[in-house]
Amino acid sequence: MKIHEYQARTILRGRGVPVPRFEVVTDPAEARRVAEEIGGMVVVKAQVHVGGRGKAGGVKLANTPEEAEQHARNILGMDIKGLTVHKVMVAHAVDIEREYYVGIVVDRATKGPVFMVSSEGGVDIESVAAETPEKIFKLPIDPVQGLTVSQAAQLAAHLDDRVEVVGQVAPVVTKLYNAFVASDASLAEINPLVVSPDGKVWAVDAKMNIDDNALFRHPEIAAMRDSADESDELRKAREMGLSFVKLDGNVGCVVNGAGLAMTTMDLIKFYGGEPANFLDIGGSSSPEKVMTAFDIITSDPNVRVILLNIFGGITRCDDVAEGLIEALEARPLSLPLVVRLTGTNETRARQILAEHGMESAQTMDEVVEKAVAMARGQA
Ligand code: GDP
Ligand code: MN
């Protein structure tokens, strides 16, 4: 789950990271009031779940409260990479002398957290990684040992050679790491971490992604969810406990089990088709879940056919077949459906479907080939 900059700032500030004073507002007049309270130069920042807000015109400096109000008026309602801005942050603007990048991600290769720092901060780190990877210093962290004092010093020394600055950056990276671990984050970054002309270090941006599977133990973070940034499909899927990832193809997939769902997508590709989504309806394939899955998929205008691929282990195929018939009678589908039900009681299931004029394929190859052909308009 993504959280907003202001929420990540709150988490980091709670751990003692130096964060400039800020408030979040939803209308221009409030922005003016906050700018008056803060005094001096402020920065008005769009709160949306995307990076590169600065380049998109979503981060503006203001010298006066009137200017802050004007910027807030322009930024609120703005579209940034497809997301509408509903909130802006008004923050004390720091004078910037140097901009650094510090971040942590979970790394597959080292199977643990990896710290990344770069003296090329402020800009989008992906382009630094692509164009000048030598400018990013990476340090894998042993998750059991955690970030050691000497590693924190090493990271800080990589960024700046002034003792007073290193002395401030080292505790910031330690606090960032502690926040990352304590929040079950999959990513935590400060870009830029700045040094002002008076030699003081500040986190002027903050980003954290939280592992969805750990949200149950962080109710205070789960409550930070902003569904304004979530599509209706994703919200429905989440509320029903479905794992759904939208893709660009035209073969809609409803599958039970993540492994089977991925295999189904591989096979669609193998037969020259393109999956419209990944969708795992989970172990139990209750009719409500299947219907919700159908709703989500039919709302995608690209989809030409729905492929239902269920393996009946503990779930019995005949139950699934009955549930499916019931559900389809209650709410007929607007798209063609191809079905494969296999496993426990599959013969009975096939019989039930046949009684209602539906077929169930025996093999994966059969059903996938058929779905791909239908999506092409060839069957
Ligand atoms: P992003 O573009 O979404 O990553 O948003 P940032 O919060 O990183 O802001 C983009 C850029 O705006 C930063 O790299 C800074 O150059 C500038 N900026 C942000 N906050 C401040 C501030 O407090 N003072 C000054 N002078 N510039 C700022
Ligand atoms: Mn940034």
Q: Is 121 in the pocket of ligand 1 (CB under 6 A)?
A: no
Same structural domain for residues 154 and 288? Answer: no
Same structural domain for residues 65 and 42? Answer: yes
Q: Spell 337-348 as b/e; 16+ CB within 10 A means b.
A: bbbbbbbbbbeb
* Secondary structure, 3-state, the chain: CECCHHHHHHHHHHCCCCCCCEEEECCHHHHHHHHHHHCCCEEEEECCCCCCCCCCCCEEEECCHHHHHHHHHHHCCCEECCEECCCEEEEECCCCCEEEEEEEEEECCCCEEEEEEECCCCCCHHHHHHHCHHHEEEEECCCCCCCCHHHHHHHHHHHCCCHHHHHHHHHHHHHHHHHHHHCCEEEEEEEEEEECCCCCEEECCCEEEECHHHHHHCHHHHCCCCHHHCCHHHHHHHHHCCEEEECCCCEEEEECCHHHHHHHHHHHHHCCCCECEEEECCCCCCHHHHHHHHHHHHCCCCCCEEEEEEEECCCCHHHHHHHHHHHHHHCCCCCCEEEEEEECCHHHHHHHHHHCCCCCECCHHHHHHHHHHHHCCCC
Tell me, in angstroms, the distance from the centre of ligand 1 to residue 65's CA: 18
**Ligand number with the minimum distance to the CA of 45:** 1
Counting from 1 in the atom list of ligand 1, the atom nearest the Cα of 124 is 4
Chain position carrying tokens 């205070």: 220
Which one of 69, 92, 115 terminates a domain? 92
Q: Is 372 in the pocket of ligand 1 (CB under 6 A)?
A: no
Question: Token digits for 152?
Answer: 């924190």
Residue 302 lies in a domain: yes
Q: Is 103 in the pocket of ligand 1 (CB under 6 A)?
A: no
- Interstrand relation of 305-312 and 337-343 (parallel, antiparallel or unpaired): parallel
C-alpha count within 13 angstroms, C-beta hemisphere, residue 97: 10
Same structural domain for residues 196 and 303? Answer: no
Query: pLDDT in tens for each of the 379 residues of the chain?
Result: 999 999 999 999 999 999 999 999 999 999 999 999 999 999 999 999 999 999 999 999 999 999 999 999 999 999 999 899 999 999 999 999 999 999 999 999 999 999 999 999 987 888 898 999 999 999 999 999 999 999 999 999 999 999 999 999 999 999 999 999 999 999 999 999 999 999 999 999 999 999 999 999 999 999 999 977 777 778 888 888 899 999 999 999 999 999 999 999 999 999 999 999 999 988 666 778 888 899 999 999 999 999 999 998 887 899 889 989 988 988 899 999 999 999 999 999 999 999 999 988 989 999 999 999 999 987 6
Counting from 1 in the atom list of ligand 1, the atom nearest the Cα of 204 is 20
The pLDDT value given to residue 283: 66
Residue 31 lies in a domain: yes
Which one of 92, 124, 145 terminates a domain? 92
Residue 4 lies in a domain: no
CA 32 to chain centre: 32
Residue 45 lies in a domain: yes
Catalytically active residues, by annotation: 101, 189
Tell me, in angstroms, the distance from the centre of ligand 1 to residue 360's CA: 57
The pLDDT value given to residue 230: 75
Q: Is 116 in the pocket of ligand 1 (CB under 6 A)?
A: no
Same structural domain for residues 58 and 111? Answer: no
Which residues touch 224 (CB under 8 Å, ≥6 apart)? Answer: 1, 3, 4, 7
Tell me, in angstroms, the distance from the centre of ligand 1 to residue 191's CA: 8
Same structural domain for residues 179 and 243? Answer: no
The pLDDT value given to residue 233: 79
Same structural domain for residues 248 and 369? Answer: yes
The pLDDT value given to residue 356: 92
Q: What CATH code is carried by the domain that includes residue 47?
A: 3.30.1490.20
Residue 169 lies in a domain: yes
Q: Is 83 in the pocket of ligand 1 (CB under 6 A)?
A: no
Residue 15 lies in a domain: no
The pLDDT value given to residue 359: 86
Tell me, in angstroms, the distance from the centre of ligand 1 to residue 99's CA: 9
**Ligand number with the minimum distance to the CA of 99:** 1
Q: Is 54 in the pocket of ligand 1 (CB under 6 A)?
A: yes
Same structural domain for residues 250 and 268? Answer: yes
Q: Is 188 in the pocket of ligand 1 (CB under 6 A)?
A: no
Tell me, in angstroms, the distance from the centre of ligand 2 to residue 54's CA: 8
**Ligand number with the minimum distance to the CA of 92:** 1
How many CB atoms within 10 Å of residue 26?
13
Backbone angles phi, psi at 168, to 5 degrees: -95, -35
Q: Tell me the best of 7, 96, 102 to mutate to test the pocket of ligand 1, counting ligand atoms within 8 Å of each CB and taking the most.
A: 96
The pLDDT value given to residue 284: 64
Residue 6 lies in a domain: no
Same structural domain for residues 195 and 249? Answer: no
Tell me, in angstroms, the distance from the centre of ligand 2 to residue 364's CA: 46
Residue 159 lies in a domain: yes
Question: Token digits for 256?
Answer: 């039970």
- CA-CA distance, 159 to 74, in Å (whole number)? 35
Which one of 199, 222, 245 terminates a domain? 222
Q: Tell me the best of 97, 205, 207, 208 to mutate to test the pocket of ligand 1, counting ligand atoms within 8 Å of each CB and taking the most.
A: 205
Same structural domain for residues 235 and 356? Answer: yes
Could you give the number of structural domains in the chain? 3
Same structural domain for residues 299 and 202? Answer: no
Counting from 1 in the atom list of ligand 1, the atom nearest the Cα of 122 is 14
Q: What CATH code is carried by the domain that includes residue 262?
A: 3.40.50.261
Q: Is 306 in the pocket of ligand 1 (CB under 6 A)?
A: no
Give residue 134's domain range. Answer: 98-222
Q: What CATH code is carried by the domain that includes residue 111?
A: 3.30.470.20
